[in-house]
Amino acid sequence: METNDLNNLVQAALKGDADSFSRLCGQYYPVMVAIAYSQLSDKDLAEDAAQETLFIAYLDISKLKKADLFISWLTRICRNISSDMAKKRKRHEHIRLEDCEIHSNEKIQDENCDEVVRSIITKLPEKLREVIFLKFYNKLSYQEISNVLGISLEAVNGRLRRAKKLIAKELGKIDSVEVDL
């Protein structure tokens, strides 16, 4: 979506136009799911967090002072909600870490390679997980990631490089996996 179109939608939503806010929700829901998933590693919880994010944004849109800050404002809400959900889940659930562990001598079959990569990604620092999910799962461009996260293109590039390097390093520890990032 063009910057002018986005600003016009946000301006209309700020004036109470529900249709404009609905269009913004349609545009950014998948992005919010990716942001939440990067923290929660659970699709259902990520979708819940994205929905809650958009609900809170709808209730609090009058607090947004600059239309061009909408995406970073929405991302911040989503991060906070996801973080709270992760803390709550940690308190109430026992997460079996052995389900995510990768043993260095383990042979990996093609059918569970995606699982292995996902488990490696869940162990990345949050900022690196976010860019991986936004780039490879949501297919956002570097510019779109820059806008969503409120960081420079150079920062996006650097985070993606570091994430790929860490993933490749972990995959390199596992027998029978070819690393091609």
Give tens-digit pLDDT for 122-158.
Answer: 889 989 999 998 998 888 899 989 988 989 999 999 9
DSSP string of the chain, one letter each residue: --HHHHHHHHHHHHTT-HHHHHHHHHHHHHHHHHHHHHHH--HHHHHHHHHHHHHHHHHHGGG---GGGHHHHHHHHHHHHHHHHHHHHHHH----GGGT---TT----GGGHHHHHHHHHHTS-HHHHHHHIIIIIS---HHHHHHHHT--HHHHHHHHHHHHHHHHHHHHTSTT-----
Q: What is the pLDDT of residue 46?
A: 94
- 77 with 102, same domain: the answer is no
- 73 with 148, same domain: the answer is no
- 59 with 137, same domain: the answer is no
Q: What is the pLDDT of residue 88?
A: 83
The string of pLDDT tens digits covering residues 68-97 is 899 999 999 999 999 999 888 776 554 343
User: What CATH number is given to the structural domain containing 129?
Assistant: 1.10.10.10
User: What CATH number is given to the structural domain containing 86?
Assistant: 1.10.1740.10
- 88 with 109, same domain: the answer is no
- 143 with 89, same domain: the answer is no
Which range in 100-109, 112-121, 172-181 is most confidently predicted, on average pLDDT?
A: 112-121
Q: Which of 79, 95, 111 is the last residue in one of the domains?
A: 95
- 89 with 5, same domain: the answer is yes
